[in-house]
Each structure stands twice: as structure tokens, then as C-alpha cells.
Structure 1
Amino acid sequence: MHWKSLYRLIRYVVVGVSTFLIDLVILFALTKFFSVPYTYAVAIGFIIGISLNYAISRAWVFRGTLRHIHHGYAYFLGGGLVSLTAILTLVAVFVERFGIPLIFARIVVSGIVGCGNYLFNLYLNFKVVGKHIHPALKLGVVAHTSTSENTNNHVPMD
């Protein structure tokens, strides 16, 4: 694995863990303090967490994506709906069938689903697999190229 790919994966994990903690706090608060059924609380926490995840991932993890923000968010939510379906199903099975505590079940399920989310975003949504951030983009500097150099309308990559 190329070190830049590993660095991207590490950033993705940092963002994912951070936004997942927000998801868990929302899940806990909704079920314990507001008596929201856990299936609704899981969905609400997930949607808020995944929306924050998208904003941060776009800016920090997958910088240099060619996809427009609205299209990217639509793909992200589409993948998120598939993930949410898997999360709700697996959490319900763990809680209802095996008697696993809700928060623990949600943590276990997130590890399973999170791996699939990373691959979906890497290959399909942000389309940056095998591409690495140009040093000018890391600094927030727009790289200027002439139109003859930029005939493919792409962001310069290493």
C-alpha cells in the first residue's frame, strides 16, 4: 500500500471515529432521555453522523475529488441508505435475537459496515483511488495551469 493511500485511510478512520462518537451520543441521548425507539434513534444518529462525515471527508480525506458537492452528497446519502439498512437490520438482530446491549451492538455493526463505506467512497463516490493530493492542494493553493496543460479538466495529482 502506498504511504499516501495509508495516510488517506488513517484520515478516513479519524473522521469516521469522530463522527461515529457523535452518532453514539445522539443514539444514547434519544433512547435514554427522550424514550425514542432505538430503531428511530439509530437512524437519526446515523443520518446526522454521516452528514458530518461527508462534509469533513470531502474537505480533508478525499480532497481533490472531481465530483460536484451536491452530486457527491447524493451518492454519499445513497450509500448511506444502503448502510443504514444494513445497520438497522444487524442491530435489530443483535439486540432482539442475541440480547446484545444496544450501544455495543451498534459499535460492532459500525465496524462491519464502515469497511464497506470506505471502499464505496474511495472507488465510486469521490473517485480518488490511486490518486494522491497535489502538494498545492494540501496547502489550499489552487494550482494554475494553462488550458493546453489542463485539457482533461482534472485536478493535478502526484
Structure 2
Amino acid sequence: MIARLFSRRAAAMLGRNTVASCLAFAVSFSVLWVLVERFAVGEVLAATVGFVVANSLHYLLGRTWIFRGTDRAVGKGYVYFLATGGMGLAITMGLYALVLEYTAINYLVARVFVSVFAGLAMFTINATLNFRRL
């Protein structure tokens, strides 16, 4: 398993995942900013909404580009993706809430910081368990 995670194939998928994650994060970040600044929604709720919207986009990119060639059915894959997305949501929002509570870091900077850790964990889970490409 470790050798597969450090293979050229994994590096190529991680590269595509990084591009897709940046796009999805931009969507998530935009939703967060609009909901907080324009609609006075709380930071954690707004980040959760942005996360769900962006995660759906990320699934489409994962299915068609990052992990292309997966043999898992679309519907079943999306259910798995939502389940792993729930884990990602828990990791992301848990860390985000902690950073907001115990530091003076701006809510937008905190969201960027947290996304790096959660993103790497979610790539590994999706590459091995959901799309079964590593």
C-alpha cells in the first residue's frame, strides 16, 4: 500500500487532484465569503454549505478526470463519495471550529490552513477506497 501511494501513478493522480481541489476550494471559499459577508450567515454553517457544494463539483472532476477508469458505478461511487465527504466534512469543520475558537486567525485564512490537511487525507481515502485506483 505504501509503495502504491508513492508511485508515479499516484503522483499523477495527486497532481490532477490538486488542480481539481483548488477549483473546488475556490468555489467553497466563494460560497463561504458570500454567505458570511453578504448574508450574515455564521462562519461554520457557511463553510459547511460551501464544502457540500464544492464536494459535489469535486466528485464530478474525480470521476471524469482524476481517477478516470474507475469501475465503480456512478451512483454507488457518489454514495461512497458522500460518505467519505462526510468524514472530510467532520475533519474540516472540526479543525476549522477549533482554529477559530482558539486562535486569532481570520476565518478565511483558517479555512485555507485547514483545507491542506483535510485535502491530503481525503485524496488518500478516495484513491484507495472509493475510486480504487491505488
Pair 1:53 & 2:78 matched: no
Compute the TM-score of the two structures, normalised by the length of structure 1.
0.78
**Structure ID, larger Rg:** 1
Greater RCO, CA 8 A, separation 6+? 2
Alignment of 1:1-158 (within 5 A): 1-129=6-134
* AA partner of residue 72 (structure 1): G
Residue by residue over 1:25-72, the C-alpha shift from the partner in whole angstroms, topping out at 9 and shown as x without a partner, is 110110000001111101100000000000011001111101111111
2-side partners of 1:35 and 1:84: how far apart? 21
Could you tell me which runs of 5 or more consecutive residues in structure 2 were left unpaired when the two chains were aligned. Answer: 1-5
- TM-superposed deviation, 1:3: 3.2
- TM-superposed deviation, 1:83: 1.1
Q: 1:4 to 1:82 in 2, by over 3 A?
A: closer
Q: Secondary structure of the equivalent of 1:33?
A: helix
- TM-superposed deviation, 1:85: 1.1
Instruction: Please tell me the root mean square deviation across aligned C-alpha atoms, in Å.
Output: 1.0
Identity %: 32
Give the equivalent residue in structure 1 for 2:3: none
Task: Give the paired residue count.
Answer: 129
Structure 1 stretches of 4+ moved >4 Å: none
Compute the TM-score of the two structures, normalised by the length of structure 2.
0.92
2-side partners of 1:4 and 1:91: how far apart? 31
